[in-house]
Amino acid sequence: MGRLISIASGKGGTGKTTTAANLSIALGKMGYKVCAVDADLTMANLSLVMGIDDAYTTIHDVLAGRADINDAIYATAYENVHVIPAAIDWEHVIRADPRRLPETIKPLKGKFDFVIIDSPAGLQMDAMNAMLSGEEVLLVTNPEISCLTDTMKVGMVLRKAGLAVLGFVLNRYGRSDNDIPPDVAEEVMEIPLLAVIPEDPPVREATLEGVPVVEYKPNSPGAKAFMELAERITRIAGFKARVMR
């Protein structure tokens, strides 16, 4: 059976979607069958980052009772990686019932090795429904104290709700001389630090190109950090790398 991993944070703009996309493709490169789910129902953009911009059926249609989840799964240009996109128009948002997210997403674990769920930030109802669609959670934060503490709170709530908190990603480290160092961040978060993603221009360039950096510039520091994150996740999950591509 596959692993259901929610990508979560206490604040918007930390890099959850970037992390979800790059982790998905990195796992695909390692030979795993992956489905990335855009569960951010009001601010969807995972599908655009992963090169799907013309999806007819989306998770919103499924949550509105108008389609089956299997009709919303799309192959991407990246080997072993599929995506379930979300709609970007308000009409679809209004029709979708976010309370159906867990029952919609959980059955995917029988089809994929990893289901990566890109969730909204914070602890509002939409965010909670998305995050609780997973069985495990990977937190994403930036090296700023307010971001760390808000994300720590999300982790505490999710742990109490029954999710296993795998650890956290310290994203965009090195932007400022005032950045909180990784060892201090780990002390604040009180969970394992799984990866430090440096502030790396190719990551932003890749986003503008609509191609995740692990594919856009695989030898860049940011891409290597995301690949290392994927390796850590597979070790935690008890998987062995199948094929490195």
CA distance 106 to 177: 42
Which CATH number is associated with domain 3-236?
A: 3.40.50.300
Q: What are the structural domain ranges in the chain? A: 3-236
207 is an annotated ligand-binding site residue = no
202 and 214 Cβ atoms separated by less than 8 Å: no
Which residues, other chains included, contact 197 with Cβ-Cβ below 8 Å and sequence gap of 6+? 15, 19, 169, 170, 171, 172, 173, 203, 222, 225, 226, 229
11 is an annotated ligand-binding site residue = yes
Helix axes 221-237, 201-209, angle to 10 degrees: 80
Residue 83: name the closest of 179, 127, 141, 17 by CA. 17
Q: What is the pLDDT along the chain (245 residues), one digit of tens a residue?
A: 899 999 999 999 999 999 999 999 999 999 999 999 999 999 999 988 888 888 899 999 999 999 999 999 999 999 999 999 999 887 888 899 999 999 999 999 999 999 999 999 999 999 999 999 999 999 999 999 999 999 999 999 999 999 999 999 999 999 999 999 999 999 999 999 999 999 999 999 998 898 999 999 999 999 999 999 999 999 998 875 454 44
28 is an annotated ligand-binding site residue = no
57 is an annotated ligand-binding site residue = no
**Global pTM value:** 0.95
18 is an annotated ligand-binding site residue = yes
CA distance 201 to 220: 9
